[in-house]
Structure 1
């Protein structure tokens, strides 16, 4: 099974820049004028998932709250640190997590639409 998360936005260009520059995703595809919608697919080549963002003449009306999250699990502490550094370099401040679990196990940020993203800190392997 594959997975796509699709969201309508008023900030397509800002989202493309954010997900490319901060999270390191690539543009996997895009479309223009598809029944009044333009859109982009962002993700990691070869992964079984990607994010889709669309824009049209109709404004997005959603209102994210503190529990609307995309949660990412970096494969290593080095990848985690690179991602956190890119958030800092792109002036994306960390936010207080509402859920205590995410507060203890990751760092929360927001994308240009205000939806929250959690970057989970990998657990170091335990030595015997």
Structure 2
């Protein structure tokens, strides 16, 4: 039998295009307190890229931008990055995320309004700060 393809230690990269890496970096680092794990500015045809996350975690968020061929993010209202915080979100956190370039928006699925708060980042991607804990 083959070993499992995925394990709890499998590293995950969520990659997506950004129209403004500086705005996205400010939102996620100043607003959400993620660290810049790697940053590379574009030279010629090469893509600029920004990797954000929590140091030592088995995941990171990668944002890319190609100046000669920028990709418009093709997101929907139900493309979500959900963070299970296990506690209510303080109003000051929401205010801070807004000051860092986010916009509070209603969720497409009412579940997320019942159990969290949805913030749209500078590129239009939606981040849900969920009150619940992940228990599965």
TM category, shorter: 0.7 to 0.9
Extract unaligned runs of 5+ from structure 1.
Answer: 124-128
State how 1:1-128 maps to structure 2 within 5 Å: 1-33=10-42, 36-56=46-66, 57-77=68-88, 80-81=89-90, 83-90=93-100, 92-122=102-132
Moved more, 24-33 or 7-16: 24-33
Extract unaligned runs of 5+ from structure 2.
Answer: 1-9
Contact 2:103 2:121 in 1 (8 A): no
> Taking structure 2 as the reference length, what is the TM-score of the superposition?
0.78
Cα-Cα RMSD: 2.1
> Taking structure 1 as the reference length, what is the TM-score of the superposition?
0.82
Deviations 1:38-78 (A, max 9, x none): 1111011111111011111211133222101110112545x
